Structure 1
Amino acid sequence: MVDFILREDTYKLIASDYWRYTGRNVSLFRMFRATLFNHCFAYTFWLRIAANEKGIIAKIARNILYKLSRQYGLQIPIETSIGYGLYIGHGIGIVVNPTAKIGNNCNLSQFTTIGANEGKAAVIGDNVYIGPSVCLVENVIIGDNVTIGAGAVVVKDVPDDATVAGVPAKIISYKSPGRYINRRWQK
């Protein structure tokens, strides 16, 4: 039934996001129920459809996505490259530049900004936790298994397995790489 509505790659992206939120395999019923009761999952659900589908279903998804964007202050353009297992925690006030690249199993917290005034925005690796009120400024490269602490302003590249915090962000530890990434999606 789902193959009749959605392409297989779109369904797999949605299934990976659902796994990150619930730790359960997706079914059609569970997926639609989650869109009703979890606005963060609903946003990722409609974002995936708007970005990957064509025709009338894409138009419907874009309309719903627009309404959710206005309601919650979430601005993630459909042109943004996003890997499997996107998790939006406390989804409000997130702004992402369309040139950003987000890897697999990434967490975006409230009031996060991934921006660029000139050129490209950040490239974010896999298994990255971005805390509340974080700003990633311009073309920085964030490695895999990185934790970015609340309120950090990242203006320089961050190596793999690092925890950074502060303004401007500085490496504070290499102890627990990617520690806040729960229920990782395995391709």
Structure 2
Amino acid sequence: MINRGFNYCVWLRLSQHHNRFFHKICFIVLNVKRIKYRIDISHKTKIGYGFYLGHSGPLVINPTTIIGNNVNLSQYTSIGANNGNAAVIGDNVYIGPNVCIIENVKIGKNSTIGAGSVVTKDIPENATAVGNYAKVLNYKNPGEYIKNKFVI
């Protein structure tokens, strides 16, 4: 059986097709899967290649979020903004379960955000950050949880 996160990503990519008829059909299927899988990612969200949803389950991403290449998101993740744009997430980033990323923060490439973190400030490249509010712990083994990277 195909992973629900993968299934949702396929329909998300298809809903971004430029053919109007094809776009409408995929958009309808995507909305059904949005309810069924409890994943809320707008078809307008800019997402790089190699995007991976580890699990289905509650996941909410603001349409103004920009997601880089080879980003892994875990269940119960929320990326949002009250004012303006949401986060910009770099390449090869792992975001653990139950993470909240709030407002216009930048998460550097090859970073890891630990489970249960609340990110309200920028995270530098190659960092591991955890906590409420997220603080950088170290710069060892950045992006170690990104497996099977998609390379063009």
Code of the residue aligned with 1:55 in structure 2: it is R
Q: Give SS of 2:43's match.
A: coil
| Alpha-carbon offset, residue 54 of structure 1 | 2.0
Give the C-alpha shift of residue 174 in structure 1.
0.5
Q: Report the identity percentage.
A: 51
1:70-98, CA deviations, whole angstroms, 9 ceiling, x for partnerless residues?
01110000110000000001111010000
Say if 2:90 is the partner of 1:131: no
Q: After alignment, is 52-61 or 147-156 more displaced?
A: 52-61
Match of 1:152 among 99, 106, 117: 117
Q: Which residue of 2 aligns with 1:186?
A: 151
Looking at secondary structure, tell me which structure has more helix per residue.
1
CA positional deviation for 1:40: 1.2
Structure 2 residues without counterparts, runs of 5 or longer: none
Stretches (4+) displaced over 3 A: none
Deviates most, 46-55 or 58-67: 46-55
Q: Any residues of structure 2 matched to 1:1-187 within 5 Å, and which?
A: 37-187=2-152
Q: What SS class does the counterpart of residue 52 from structure 1 fall into?
A: coil
The number of residues matched between the two structures is 152
- TM (normalized to structure 1)? 0.79
Does the Cα contact within 8 Å between 2:58 and 2:77 map onto a contact in 1?
Answer: yes
**Helix, strand or coil at the partner of 1:47:** helix
Provide, for residues 121-141 of structure 1, a one-character-per-residue CA deviation record: whole Å limited to 9, x for no partner: 000000000000000000000
Where 2:9 maps in the other structure, the secondary structure is helix
Question: RMSD in angstroms over aligned alpha carbons?
Answer: 0.9
How far apart, in 2, do the equivalents of 1:143 and 1:91 lie? 25
Looking at structure 1, the residues matched to 143 and 103 of structure 2 have their Cα atoms a distance apart, in angstroms, of: 23
TM-score, length basis structure 2: 0.97
Cα separation, 2, equivalents of 1:171 and 1:116: 22
Distance 1:111 1:85 in 2: 20
d(CA) in 2 for partners of 1:66 and 1:124?
24
SS in structure 1 of the partner of residue 15 of structure 2: helix
Letter in structure 2 aligned against 1:84:
Y
Contact 2:4 2:55 in 1 (8 A): no
Give the CA deviation at 1:166.
Answer: 0.2
- Kindly state the Cα deviation for residue 52 of structure 1 after the two structures are TM-superposed: 3.0
Contact kept, 8 Å, 2:73 with 2:94, in 1: the verdict is yes
Whichever structure has more strand as a proportion of its residues is 2
* CA distance in 2: counterparts of 1:151 and 1:120, whole angstroms: 22
